């Protein structure tokens, strides 16, 4: 009788533990996952539209600042084959226009001042100036945890992207804000640049 009671108690305990773990897993599945460095998800997306043959390469938003009062993310996007190439001149112009757009989004609990909005990098100790970013007008935040939102946009050409991808240490300044890009963000950036170069018109020209 004691043995049967012991087995019954053991089974009930096993079911309780299993149910608890299963509930935690299900709850985790419902939690939104931000596309941030080190989250374990694929951070670079490559899609080719089968109708237009346009290839879009995206680096998912990377958190470069994450504090209780403010969140700043950076993402990149590039498109290729979205222009009709009629002759050699068009091909040259496409290569000269070869770039990726870089987007920044800032969510804050109070109004923020980014100053001159200039984008700078220090790549392995060497300065790399990009120029003034467009945007910066305050907008309504889509994140309920923050009151204020600002977005900025700039561009990086092929040479600049290659310098960033080949670096070991990258510091960045956007207006008054300074950051050091983490190793995880740099690795995701390198993956984006690898895909960028794969589809870039300049790389295809070298293959011919």
DSSP assignment string, 151-189: EEEEEEEHHHHHHHHT-S-EEEEETTEEEE--HHHHHHH
Retrieve residue 172's tokens.
């960045």
Query: What does pTM read for this prediction?
Result: 0.77
> Is the pLDDT higher at 171 or at 10?
171
Domain segments of the chain: what residues? 1-31, 44-207
> Which tens digit of pLDDT belongs to each residue from 129-162?
999 999 999 988 888 889 999 999 999 999 999 9
Dihedral angle sign, alpha carbons of residues 8, 10, 15, 20: positive
Instruction: Decide if pLDDT at 22 tops 70.
Output: no
Q: Distance from first CA to last CA of the chain, Å, rounded?
A: 84
The Cα–Cα gap between 64 and 181 comes to 7
Residue 34 has pLDDT above 90, yes or no: no
137 torsion bin: left (phi>0), alpha (psi -120 to 50), beta (else): beta
* CATH topology (fold) of 44-207: Immunoglobulin-like (2.60.40)
What pLDDT was estimated at residue 207?
61
Tokens for 204, please give them: 């295809």
């Amino acid at each position: 009788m004691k043995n049967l009671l012991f087995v019954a108690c053991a089974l009930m305990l096993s079911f309780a533990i299993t149910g608890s773990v299963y509930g935690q897993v299900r709850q985790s599945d419902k939690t939104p996952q931000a596309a941030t460095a080190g989250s374990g998800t694929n951070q670079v997306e490559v899609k080719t539209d089968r109708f237009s043959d346009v290839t879009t390469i995206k680096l998912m938003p990377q958190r470069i600042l994450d504090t209780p009062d403010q969140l700043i993310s950076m993402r990149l996007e590039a498109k290729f084959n979205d222009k009709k190439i009629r002759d050699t001149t068009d091909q040259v112009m496409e290569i000269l226009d070869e770039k990726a757009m870089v987007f920044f989004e800032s969510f804050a609990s109070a109004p923020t001042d980014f100053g001159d909005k200039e984008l700078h990098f220090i790549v392995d100790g060497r300065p790399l100036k990009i120029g003034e970013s467009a945007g910066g007008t305050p907008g309504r935040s889509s994140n309920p945890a923050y009151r204020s939102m600002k977005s900025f946009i700039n561009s990086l050409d092929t040479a600049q992207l290659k310098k960033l991808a080949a670096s070991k240490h990258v510091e960045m300044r956007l207006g008054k804000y300074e950051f050091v890009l983490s190793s995880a963000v740099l690795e995701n950036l390198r993956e984006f640049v690898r895909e960028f170069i794969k589809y870039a018109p300049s790389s295809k020209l070298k293959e011919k």
